């Protein structure tokens, strides 16, 4: 099946004993044990497994081209589970401009737990090679990065990882598998905050890890999911499966609208620079073209102005909502440094925008008003 068909039909028969076109929600926390005792694979307790969670895990694994997936209660829970599957003393390479939540999680939890970490310029293969140690177990890639929109060559990084027997993790939240499929380029694990484009409507929290293979490392992630307990509710899994059926078509809209808005911003006198991988001016545009099918709905741009002026511009929008998350049908933006808070690496004049599915002419009118 092609992608759009998979998104609509995969997993519908799991935990669906009726002929319902839309599977039911299974809210029960417990399941009756067979008269002859519990067998491997039987449903037992919903923290361990649930029909709706199995539906979504099967679906997202299929869309990313992986063998297995584990769903979590948030993207940060999914990221933490990957790192908790390492041993104290293991070494991690992670981008210096990684998502602020993951930076804080690594610095405040995983380093205290005993993980050795280097934050590096992940877009430079020589920097990656230079920082590899015998203890390096994971190279973590976020492409495009949040919020600086840097693009890392997944194939090149995967070759480095494979030569050194290191796992490659790619955060694919921004592109989604509609636009980028890292496992096809050599990654071992894919990470998602499913709160974003998979949910698509700014009304649920979730995360997921997809593995190319059902190996011992993934089994440790699964154990962390089940015994750590950071699992999504049946309702949220049902909503994720529901929303994923329209993912391909929503992303086409996000891609088209974001490119149009990015070109508008690039030509605006109040804007100093626009970072969007679909623009020819992006420093890694050619790499993006080689590994992405579309360029997503996220734009970062630098205002010709100060910190105070940048905050004021965001405050003047009428249609574009001031909010920190992304991936919804509504457009949002923020002064990113203010949202990230202490430790932010975002420049003072950086504004991050999630372009939604409103008519792009309406968005451009609102931007013109806000930019003054």
Q: Number of structural domains, the chain?
A: 2
Pick the last residue of a domain from 244, 261, 278: 244
Whether residues 195 and 256 share a domain: the answer is: no
Would you give the DSSP letter of residue 21?
S
- The two tokens of residue 88 are 């104290």
Q: How far is CA 179 from CA 38, 254, 309, 317, 341, in A?
A: 42, 11, 34, 29, 30
Whether residues 217 and 302 share a domain: the answer is: no
Whether residues 271 and 350 share a domain: the answer is: yes
CA 181 – CA 291 distance, rounded (Å): 8
Pick the last residue of a domain from 220, 244, 268: 244
Whether residues 214 and 166 share a domain: the answer is: yes
Query: In tens digits, what is the pLDDT along the chain, a chain of 372 residues?
Result: 999 999 999 999 998 888 889 999 999 999 999 888 888 788 999 999 999 999 999 999 999 999 999 999 999 999 999 999 999 999 999 999 999 999 999 999 999 999 999 999 999 999 999 999 999 999 999 999 999 999 999 999 999 999 999 999 999 999 999 999 999 999 999 999 999 999 999 999 999 999 999 999 999 999 999 999 999 999 999 999 999 999 999 999 999 999 999 999 999 999 999 999 999 999 999 999 999 999 999 999 999 999 999 999 999 999 999 999 999 999 999 998 888 877 777 888 999 999 999 999 999 999 999 998
CA 220 – CA 226 distance, rounded (Å): 10
Q: Which domain holds residue 142?
A: 3-244
CATH number at 298 reads 3.90.1150.10
Whether residues 12 and 54 share a domain: the answer is: yes
Pick the last residue of a domain from 244, 277, 312: 244
CATH number at 212 reads 3.40.640.10
Tokens 């895990």 sit on residue: 57
């Amino acid at each position: 099946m092609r992608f759009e068909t998979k998104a609509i039909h995969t997993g519908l028969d799991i935990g669906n004993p009726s002929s319902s076109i839309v599977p039911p929600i299974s809210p029960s926390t417990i399941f009756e044990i067979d008269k002859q005792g519990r067998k491997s694979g039987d449903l037992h307790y919903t923290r361990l497994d649930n029909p709706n969670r199995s539906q979504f895990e099967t679906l997202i694994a299929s869309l990313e081209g992986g063998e297995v997936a584990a769903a979590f209660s948030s993207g940060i829970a999914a990221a933490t589970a990957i790192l908790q599957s390492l041993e104290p003393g293991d070494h991690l390479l992670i981008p210096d401009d990684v998502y602020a939540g993951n930076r804080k999680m690594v610095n405040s939890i995983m380093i205290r737990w005993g993980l050795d970490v280097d934050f590096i310029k992940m877009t430079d293969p020589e920097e990656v090679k230079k920082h590899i140690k015998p203890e390096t177990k994971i190279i973590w890639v976020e492409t495009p990065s949040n919020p600086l929109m840097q693009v890392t060559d997944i194939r090149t990084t995967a070759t480095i990882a494979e030569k050194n027997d290191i796992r490659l993790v790619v955060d694919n939240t921004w592109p989604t598998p509609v636009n980028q499929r890292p496992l096809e380029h050599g990654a071992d694990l894919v990470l998602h905050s499913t709160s974003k484009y998979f949910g698509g409507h700014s009304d649920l929290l979730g995360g997921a890890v997809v593995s190319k293979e059902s190996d011992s490392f993934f089994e440790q992630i699964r154990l962390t999911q089940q015994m750590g307990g950071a699992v999504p509710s049946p309702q949220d899994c049902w909503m994720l499966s529901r929303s994923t059926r329209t993912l391909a078509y929503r992303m086409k809209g996000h891609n088209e609208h974001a490119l149009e808005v990015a070109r508008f911003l690039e030509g605006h006198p109040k804007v100093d620079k626009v970072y969007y991988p679909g623009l020819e001016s992006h420093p890694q545009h050619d790499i993006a073209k080689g590994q992405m099918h579309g360029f997503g709905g996220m734009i970062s741009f630098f205002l010709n102005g100060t910190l105070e002026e940048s905050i004021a511009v965001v405050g003047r929008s009428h249609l574009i909502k001031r909010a920190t998350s992304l991936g919804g049908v509504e457009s949002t933006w923020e002064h990113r440094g203010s949202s990230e808070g202490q430790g932010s690496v975002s420049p003072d004049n950086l504004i991050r925008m999630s372009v939604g599915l409103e008519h792009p002419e309406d968005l451009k009118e609102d931007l013109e008003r806000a930019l003054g």
